[in-house]
Amino acid sequence: MSSVILLTVLSLSSLAIIAAVILYFVAQKFKVYEDPRIDLVQDLLPAANCGGCGFAGCRNLAEALVKADTFDGLYCPVGGAKVMEEVAKLLGKTAIAADPLVAVLKCNGTPDVRQKTTSYIGVYDCRITHNLYMGETDCSYGCLGYGDCERACTFDAIHIDITTGLPVISDEKCVACGACVKACPRNLIELRKKAKKDRKIYVACSNCDKGGPARKACKAACIACGKCFKVCEFGAITIENNLAYIDAGKCTFCRKCVTECPTGCILEINFPPRKPKSEPQAQSVPENPNV
């Protein structure tokens, strides 16, 4: 009886040894050389695998970083400058500084200013609705509010506000990976340069219709009146396709355009309250429901 057990153990172990030897030689023969630095770089990256760098995941970016001569065009928006510095130190290259970005929604069409004109009963998905028709309001450029951006965000930074029906982007959580930018069928989300204290001034509208129909559809629409363009001393504002745009690189946060805008579609965010002037201000800035 014991001889049977012994025989079994012996035969199986010898089989295992033979297999191990074969596998060792095969592994040697077909060995793929991989730069050990790739693993090291990957460990430094945030492991979010969000695709914000333009690659499929962190591993692919690590490979590209190790292979590249300069870091030109390679940047991890999630890790930001700090991580890129560390990677640069490890690889002995120089990090290229890039401004941190943050996502903003270029629509301010809350139900108060943008009346519902039709009702949509169907799949709760922006992409599908956008292909079907203009949406529940008269604005065919504005936010549909079915949350494609919310679903696309892997950092829990976007949530649809139930009272306004618009997505709210958290400045702390947003890493500017750009997933929401790609998800929005109406291109309403823009990655803008992050400023001190998370201050932002931007045109919260994407309506390219002429002033009349735009205003009719939404009281907070940009009507391309050009007032902001005229008041801006720094040439930061351009008007194209019946829509104003503020260049974040040129804007000095003087806030003149905000007071000038007759529809209140230019938003100022995270600013201290203005000092009351002697004359009452004709144009009150609407409270921003977007932050």
Residues that bind other proteins (CB under 8 A): 117-118, 121-122, 132-135, 140, 209-210, 213
* 217 Cβ contact partners less than 8 Å away, ≥ 6 residues apart: 114, 137, 138, 139, 142, 207, 209
**CA-to-CA distance for 224 and 58, rounded, in angstroms?**
42
Indicate the residue among 13 and 117 with the shorter CB distance to other proteins: 117
Q: Mind giving me the DSSP string for 29-66?
A: HT-----HHHHHHHHHS------TTSSSSHHHHHHHHH
- Cα dihedral sign, 67-70-75-80: positive
Indicate the residue among 19 and 123 with the shorter CB distance to other proteins: 123
Instruction: Report, in Å, the least distance between residue 118 CB and other proteins.
Output: 5
Reported in sequence order, the residue ranges of the chain that DSSP labels E, i.e. its strands, are: 101-105, 158-160, 167-169, 189-193, 200-203, 237-240, 243-246, 266-269
Three-class DSSP category at 4 = helix
Indicate the residue among 136 and 266 with the shorter CB distance to other proteins: 136
Task: Give the residue carrying structure tokens 């905000």.
Answer: 258
Residue type, 287: E
Instruction: Report, in Å, the least distance between residue 24 CB and other proteins.
Output: 40
What is the three-state SS of 163-185? Answer: CCCCEEECCCCCCCCCHHHHHCC
Indicate the residue among 41 and 107 with the shorter CB distance to other proteins: 107
Instruction: Report, in Å, the least distance between residue 217 CB and other proteins.
Output: 10
Instruction: Report, in Å, the least distance between residue 121 CB and other proteins.
Output: 5
**CA-to-CA distance for 281 and 82, rounded, in angstroms?**
43
Indicate the residue among 140 and 288 with the shorter CB distance to other proteins: 140
Indicate the residue among 174 and 179 with the shorter CB distance to other proteins: 179
Instruction: Report, in Å, the least distance between residue 177 CB and other proteins.
Output: 19
- Token pair for 121: 């009963």
Instruction: Report, in Å, the least distance between residue 60 CB and other proteins.
Output: 20
Indicate the residue among 180 and 267 with the shorter CB distance to other proteins: 180
CB 202 within 8 A of CB 104: yes
Instruction: Report, in Å, the least distance between residue 127 CB and other proteins.
Output: 11
